[in-house]
Structure 1
Amino acid sequence: MPGGRLTHQDRRKIAEGLTEGLTYTEIAGGLERPISTVTREVARNGGPGGYRADRAQQAAEGRARRRKPTPAQVSPTAVDAHGRDPEAVHELEEQFTAMMVGTGLPRMTARVLTCLYVTDNGSLTAAELVRRLQVSPASISKAVGELEQQELIRRERDPRRRRDRYVIDADAWFRGWMASARQNTMLADFARQGAQVLGATTPAGTRMQDIGHFFEHVGQTMIQAAEEWRQAHAAKHTAHG
């Protein structure tokens, strides 16, 4: 299986495959690459409908230039205090961000979420996020607002520095999952009300009833699964404590 980074020709084949309606599995097979490589490449470059080979190649070259160290930065022991390879960590951040974009998060929001996850203390101020991501305070403010709304992060007041810190913790995905489950419950209620307005015996009313039953089932299953995880997670930490 070929190694290394995608070439311009690889990206053209990906674009052609998307235009032809091929699946990611089929495109990856033609390139002899892992499916994750193709999905990550498409997600970080506009998605299936917006992927352009030339634009993706330019973006890749730009990232490579930004990562290229100057002579003064080159060091045979360029690792952090924990012995981690900065290049490998950077690649992890890129992959994590691409995955989050694939779930529907805007790119800047995904970058902020990734930054919090790969930071050891899982906590950063807005100013720290601005410096790390090299973007404007307004971009950070919008991104953290979206993450707070989805309950993927929480805000804490730092009394020593008199500023807010944005925190990611073990319960972040639990809270986000529960928020999504509540949205499904709301959709189920709305669909049932819609069925009554349209008439339960009409085709449109029947369709709305089916939608309501679906979201009700999914919402209840999500809540049950999340609660089971939380109990198991708490038990594991109690046993290790």
Structure 2
Amino acid sequence: MAAEPSREEISQFVERFAGVLANSGVPTMSARVMGAMLVSPTGVMTAAELADLLKISQPAVSGAVRQLLQVAFITRERLPGSRKDHYRIRDDVFAAILERRNLALSEWEATSRSGVALFGEDSPVGRRLTEAADFFAFIHGDMSQMIKNWRAEHPR
């Protein structure tokens, strides 16, 4: 069994994890909050706990939490006897992230196909846009199937 990580090791991991998420398009503060919640023993934290762990202000936590709530990566709840909001990371948060990315692929495909109609399928631009649209459609189909397979093997 591994030794319990120190607060400094936890902080370094959270920042490293957040950096990876931020590099893939997740807003930095939201990525940090997700990282902190992910390593929380319960997956549930208050805004004050997040601010303390991440060494950031309450308004910074509030903005990140608001964004994560809007995209349904976390939920807000009240625990019995508590007047504070508690935030819980969604059990299937990574599948949810990929679902959102997969929706973007559909939009990229549709936009590319509208460009084909605009420029003509036999033009150099039309051929490039057709290839792009076909690629997005291919990846979208595979991603959809992978998410279905994941959920079938890992029901909530």
Q: Please tell me the TM-score bracket, short chain as reference.
A: 0.7 to 0.9
Letter in 2 for 1:224: Q
Q: TM-score, normalised by structure 2?
A: 0.82
Q: CA deviation at 1:202?
A: 1.7
Please name the residue that 1:85 is paired with. Answer: 5
1:182 and 1:90, CA in 2 relative to 1: closer, same or farther beyond 3 A? same
Please name the residue that 1:120 is paired with. Answer: 41
Is 1:105 matched up with 2:26?
A: yes
1:159 and 1:92, CA in 2 relative to 1: closer, same or farther beyond 3 A? closer
Q: Deviations over 1:132-161 (max 9, x none)?
A: 22312221122223334554x222231643
Q: Percent identity?
A: 27
Contact 2:102 2:144 in 1 (8 A): yes
Letter in 2 for 1:232: E
1:164 and 1:186, CA in 2 relative to 1: closer, same or farther beyond 3 A? farther
Matches within 5 A, 1:173-184: 173-184=94-105
**Match 1:155 to one of 75, 96, 101:** 75
| Count of aligned residue pairs for this structure pair | 153
Letter in 1 for 2:77: R
Letter in 1 for 2:13: L
Contact 2:11 2:53 in 1 (8 A): no
1:200 and 1:162, CA in 2 relative to 1: closer, same or farther beyond 3 A? farther
Query: SS of 1:142's equivalent?
Result: helix
Please name the residue that 1:212 is paired with. Answer: 133
Q: Deviations over 1:56-98 (max 9, x none)?
A: xxxxxxxxxxxxxxxxxxxxxxxxxx96131443343343233
Q: For the aligned residues, what is the CA RMSD? A: 2.4
**Match 2:92 to one of 171, 177, 182:** 171
Please name the residue that 1:129 is paired with. Answer: 50
**In the aligned structure 2, how far is the partner of 1:110 from the partner of 1:91?**
14
Rg: which structure is higher?
A: 1
| Runs (5+) with no aligned partner, structure 1 | 1-81
**Match 2:115 to one of 194, 200, 209:** 194
**In the aligned structure 1, how far is the partner of 2:74 from the partner of 2:11?**
24
**In the aligned structure 2, how far is the partner of 1:159 from the partner of 1:113?**
20
| Runs (5+) with no aligned partner, structure 2 | none
1:186 and 1:149, CA in 2 relative to 1: closer, same or farther beyond 3 A? farther
Choose between structure 1 and 2 for higher RCO, CA contacts under 8 A separated by at least 6 residues: 2
Q: TM-score, normalised by structure 1?
A: 0.56
**In the aligned structure 1, how far is the partner of 2:19 from the partner of 2:125?**
38
**In the aligned structure 2, how far is the partner of 1:165 from the partner of 1:206?**
51
Query: SS of 1:128's equivalent?
Result: helix
Contact 1:130 1:136 in 2 (8 A): yes
